[in-house]
Structure 1
Amino acid sequence: MRGRKVAFAAVLALGLALAQGEHAHGEGLFRRLAVADGKEPLVRVMSEDGKELGRFTVPSPARLYPLPGGQYVLAVHRDAGAVSFLFGGFRLEDHGDHRDVKEENPYVAATLRTGPKPTHIFANEDTLAVFHDGDGTLALFDLRRLGLDFTPGLIATGRADHGAVALLGEAVLVGGLESGRVEVYTREGRRVLPLPQTCPRLHGEAVLGEVAAFGCLDGVLLVERRGQGFMGRKVANPPGSPEGARVGTLVAHPRAGVFVGNFGQGLAFLKPGEGRMEVLPLPARPLRFGFGPEGEALYVLTADGQFHKVDPVARRVVGSLEATSPLDTAPGLALGHGVAYLADPVRGEVVRVDLEEWKVAARLKVGGMPLGLALFEVEGVKH
């Protein structure tokens, strides 16, 4: 009799689960990885465990950038003057209290010849900006219409330069390495204001709230929105800085509330309101670094092949792993919720790191020279 009650309870539980759908078993994060070869015009899309799901010939070797929303990755083909939008295969259907995820084959949604030498990009939740070094034009894409319309708006700056772009609300900030200046444009392409502050050899940008930061040879230029206008101010390199040390790459996350840039064999931390840089030394030169999706930690790959976890508040290294071969050039780094992928072009591998367990979880044999990485990552329910 007791056995029948147990069996009945099990059947009842199964029936309730079926009546409620499969959400409890199919809800979570879904990931795929885009891998660009460093020599060949080739991009692969892979599953988390390294299975190849798609292989695409592209106009020229690509740099990869994840786009907001997790469904698309941008491939920038500088040598071919083109960009490609890669769809990772996660189709989302909104059902109010949840989104269904339907897995499909990945594909190249569009390849566009937007201008000569597309290089630096900037993306926020609704807009993608691509700067063309060859003629100084800027292409603006509406990310809310991806999959429906890939037609960009164009802004002409009037000169070729190695440009950096940042978006502050409806304003477009454009800086140039050769000009050493930042100019403000409207989305329609009208130049509103050239800032008076100089930024020699300008390179790298990031945004925190209403403040944009640009790396300079002699410090960091902060550009802040003030009412209807903008104000710039320079934060100088720390006294006694090593010769040649400068900020040339910047990242930021609203939760951390700090700009972080490379600085010789270390990282420079700068809070917009502090007006000074604090440098954290590292065992080797930082090649790639970025915040996790929640901004709780900063992750850094250094030239000796070590992968570090940095507390952005305490500004100290809290963990290190032997991850890749020692490298001279910056390989790809893709960060997701609880996971990181690092390219090892020397070994033809992609290294997967479990950020919660803080260990190398897998070394995926890709072949060729994997260099660029970007993650497709969506949250939803799979039936």
Structure 2
Amino acid sequence: MLKTKLSLAALLVSVSLLSACGDSTTNIVEKDPIADDDDDHDHDHGDISAVGRLVISAKDSNLVSVYELEDGSLLDTFAVADTPSALAASASKRYALVVQRTTDRVEFVDGGLFQEDHVDHLHDYQQAPALSSFILSESRPTHITSTDSQVAVFFDGDAASGTPAALAVITDADITTDSNGYPVLHYSTHMHGAAQARGEYVLSTIRDANSATTLPDKVGVYHAHDDHFHEELVFDELCPGLHGSAQNEHVIAFGCTDGVLVIAQEDETFTASKIANTDDFSGTMRIGTLVGAEHAEHLVGFAGASMFAIHAEDGEMELVDWQGTEGASLVGYGFADGGEKFVLLDSLGYLTILNYHGHEHEGAAEEPAFEIAGKVQLTEADVSTMPEGSRFELAISASDDKVYVTNPIDNTLLTVDVADAEVVATKQLSFVPHKLVWLGIAAPAEAHDH
């Protein structure tokens, strides 16, 4: 079973952790009183949090904590089955996916902030965080990608045990209702794969079972039919050593050793093409990570610490001079401030902030897609004292211009204003932080359109 349910006894024992991409078309928002679990239904009539909440896991621990960003207060701490290997946000950013890769499990923490479409307006809700009974259970959950309506969870499978890979596409409604009717794709062999959900379709990787590598080299289109997928198309274009995927409104892309495989969607038709590596690539350099945002024209590709702006529709790939810190590796990145910025967190504790000029507006063609806006030194501590197995970690707000960084050297949480390129708050944590993710009610995309 891909999904399992916890009995009450199991819950007690456990207490000890890239679609129909539509945007909201209304800007009317009502705020409900804060929900309370008390039987008498008394409510705290304070405002709903606009800045959101953070879920932070503790190093070498199965504990995950939920913090209210409005005042920095600790709302609750939950014990999951095992130490989280990663945290990710669900499609609407209500839930945190608590990935436990080595024990084949994904649990879900309800952050308590969510929005419902009431036809003539969007209604905001706030309630206490909670550990959900919804669980995904399959071999080696690894790559998680999301749109604003769906999350694709790719399970690599396990070569040693002969367990094949699997893929699940879920929505926040599936998590909320504890559903088992979401579509699942079961493979016949293991692979270190990737997938991108597109409404009724999912584009996912394919690996030859006789391949000497765990990396796939093909991509297929699969159509959801109730609780499973049917294969619709396998593209002829090869993508050797495939690793990394992303999408925007028009295209889906996968990283290959020889370039980027780009798949365009027009209604129910998918077509593939290839953008070859440029002269900026040398040796074993290849795009192994891709980042996208729905309304961003460019995808961002990383070959190590080298950043490339990829305009997939025009078939262009350009090296971005982001002036990385010498000797540093990248540990976090992503679009921020509603897509107006792109941030890069490095291993030496610097946050580089880039302005993104790739939107369709007058003059865009006359300036680079990404341009340095600022660089913030997050710590003056000796980074060689970083605890073994730890690193700086990044979470990006979807409601404002803030990003959050945890520093395991001194167990602090930093709030960075990317518009002003400065640290605006520091919070002392009572544990060594490991992973973190932002949850909350995202700002409407219209607020950032040009």
- TM category (shorter chain) comes to 0.7 to 0.9
Equivalent residue number for residue 234 of structure 2 = 194
Which residue of the other structure, out of 58, 63, 83, is the alignment partner of 1:37? 58
Indicate if the aligned counterparts of 1:50 and 1:364 stay in contact, CA closer than 8 A. Answer: yes
TM superposition shift of 1:60: 2.1
Q: Which runs of 5+ in 1 are unaligned?
A: 1-20
Amino acid at match of 1:259: L
Deviations 1:171-211 (A, max 9, x none): 21112552221122111311122212222221111111231
Please state which structure has a larger fraction of its residues in strand. 1
Partner of 1:185: 222
Deviations 1:51-100 (A, max 9, x none): 32111121222211122333222111111111111111236577754635
Alpha-carbon distance, 1:294 to partner: 1.4
Q: Judging changes above 3 Å, is the alpha-carbon distance between structure 1 residues 368 and 199 closer, same or farther for their aligned structure 2 residues?
A: farther
Structure 1 counterpart of 2:202: 172
Tell me if 1:269 matches 2:330. Answer: no
Report the equivalent of 1:9: none
Q: Which of 296, 303, 307 is equivalent to 2:340?
A: 296
* Letter paired with 1:101: Y
- CA drift of 1:298 comes to 0.6
Aligned partner of 1:319 in structure 2 is: 374
Task: Note the C-alpha offset of 1:35.
Answer: 0.5
1:61 and 2:83 equivalent? yes
1:40, 1:278 → 2: CA distance? Answer: 42
- Indicate which of 345, 359, 370 corresponds to 2:433: 370
The counterpart of 2:125, out of the listed 101, 104, 110, is: 101
Give 2:410's match in structure 1, choosing from 339, 342, 347. Answer: 347
Indicate the residue corresponding to 2:100 in structure 1. 77
How many residue pairs get matched?
357
SS at match of 1:159: coil
Structure of higher CA gyration radius: 1
2:271 corresponds to which of 226, 231, 253: 231
Q: CA, structure 1 residues 142+94, in 2 after alignment: closer, same or farther (shift >3 Å)?
A: closer
Aligned partner letter, 1:57: A
Q: Which of 267, 270, 280 pairs up with 2:320?
A: 280
Distance (whole Å) between structure 2 residues aligned to residue 27 and residue 329 of structure 1 = 34
Distance in 2 between residues matched to 1:349 and 1:378, nearest whole Å: 25
| C-alpha spacing 1:92/1:230, structure 2 compared with 1 (3 Å) | closer
Q: Quick one: which amino acid aligns to residue 59 of structure 1? A: A
Q: Is the 8 A contact 2:376 2:422 kept in 1?
A: yes
Aligned pairs for 1:119-138 within 5 A: 119-134=142-157, 135-138=164-167
Residue number in structure 2 paired with 1:156: 186
Runs of 4+ in 1 over 4 A off after TM superposition: 91-98, 324-331
Partner in structure 1 of residue 39 of structure 2? none
Match of 1:5 in 2: none
Q: Is the 8 A contact 2:107 2:132 kept in 1?
A: yes
1:266–1:279 CA contact under 8 A, matched in 2: yes
SS in 2 for 1:138: strand
Using a 3 Å threshold, how does the CA distance of structure 1 residues 173 and 100 change in structure 2: closer, same or farther?
closer
Q: CA deviation at 1:145?
A: 4.0
Match of 2:448 in 1: none
8 Å CA contact 2:246, 2:299 repeated in 1: yes
Identity level (%): 27
Residue 114 of structure 1, CA deviation: 2.2
Question: In terms of mean alpha carbon deviation, does 326-335 or 133-142 score higher?
Answer: 326-335
CA distance in 1, matches of 2:237, 2:282: 24
Does the residue aligned with 2:243 lie in a helix, a strand or coil? Answer: coil
Relative to 1, partners in 2 of residues 1:94 and 1:196: Cα closer, same or farther, differing over 3 Å? closer
Provide closer, same or farther for how the CA distance between residues 89 and 238 of structure 1 changes in structure 2, counting only shifts above 3 A.
same
1-structure distance, mates of 2:136, 2:124: 34
Which SS does the other structure have where 2:173 is aligned? Answer: helix
Structure 2: distance between partners of 1:338 and 1:120: 26
Q: Distance in 2 between matches of 1:329 and 1:192?
A: 42
Larger displacement relative to structure 2 (144-153 or 163-172): 144-153
